[in-house]
Amino acid sequence: MNKLILAPIKKIIVDTNLRSPGWKKKVEELKPSIKALGLQQPILVIPLQKKGPKGETFELIYGSRRLEACKQLKHTTIKALVGSEKMSRKEKLLAKLAENDDRKDLTAIEQAEAYKQVIDECKLNARELSKAIGRTDGFVSQRLALLKLTSAVQTALQKETITPTHARELARFKDPKQQDKHLKKAKETENASDFKAAVDTALNKKRDKTKPHKGRPEKKEKETKSSRQSEDEIEAGVSRMEKQLKAAVKAKNEIHKAHLQGIVRGISWAVGTTGATLPNLYTD
């Protein structure tokens, strides 16, 4: 169990900090409560293996904001839990990350940057990191994906003018220019579900423009086949009329003969451009 001490602030060495460069601005939020009530939550330090001539020195593991606030309030000591001096570099980084990760004021981009730093330095993958800090694989992966967004979108996330959900929808646009183009819409659309619907519509329109119209050649082929079938039917019908006309001529049935010749003339006029071959039925 870690022991609690009052550590001399001058003896605490700050190594790697997992917060963005602007984190010190939030120190001002802590100062009033520390001044009125004292430090409620101790920081975590570990003793350095080499003790200086003026006493033991410590390395800060987490609690950067609290330490900075106490410094600015001119405190000489700070409540600190003392961890094992045998902590590895990986254990230190994971401890820093786990403590910072629970803070409500940490932006999505700050989380993502901290995750990437630990993954790179500790040679972990997203699944291993998620287990170490008690997050789901999906949450860690989604945060890391935010770092692939354009700088404009990341800035909007930092300023919290869009939510991480809006940012994930923007990430569906693979073209950075499209991400920036739809960023304004994301800022204007407060409801994430409504923005998702807008992204769906934009992506579907884009697919429709680029998708080849595969149905058109098939339709043309069907029309050609239908035309050929119609020509065959016409020629077969005319052939039947030819036989009937010859029979009428042979029987000297002038009325039937004239009727059939009229039908053939009408067919000839109607299908003259189809290419169908019509027999000559106008001679006795």
Considering the chain, tell me which residue range(s) the CATH 3.90.1530.10 domain(s) occupy.
1-87
Q: CB–CB of 79/43 below 8 Å?
A: yes
Contacts of 183 (CB under 8 A, 6+ apart): 150, 152, 153, 156, 162, 170
The predicted pLDDT at position 167 comes to 92
pLDDT of residue 281: 46
What's the per-residue H, E or C state across 46-99? EECCCCECCECCEEEEECHHHHHHHHHCCCCEEEEEECCCCCCHHHHHHHHHHH
- CATH class of segment(s) 1-87: alpha beta
Q: What is the pLDDT along the chain (284 residues), one digit of tens a residue?
A: 678 999 999 999 987 666 655 567 678 888 999 999 999 999 999 998 666 666 789 999 988 889 999 999 999 999 999 988 888 888 888 888 888 777 777 788 888 988 999 999 899 999 999 998 889 999 999 999 999 999 999 999 988 899 999 999 999 999 999 999 999 999 999 888 899 999 999 888 877 666 665 555 555 555 555 555 555 666 666 667 667 767 766 776 666 666 666 666 665 555 554 444 444 444 44
pLDDT given at position 162: 93
First to last CA, the chain: 122
Amino acid 48 reads L
pLDDT tens figures, 271-280: 554 444 444 4
Residue 74: what pLDDT? 95
Tell me how far apart the alpha carbons of residues 179 and 175 are, in angstroms, rounded to a whole number: 7
What integer pLDDT is reported at residue 4 of this predicted model? 92
CA distances from 218 to 93, 213, 252, 282 (A): 62, 10, 51, 40
| pLDDT score at 266 | 62
Helix residue spans in 88-211 (DSSP H): 89-101, 108-122, 126-133, 137-145, 151-158, 164-170, 176-188, 192-210
Spatial strand order of the sheet with 77-82 comes to 3-8, 77-82, 43-47, 58-62, 12-14
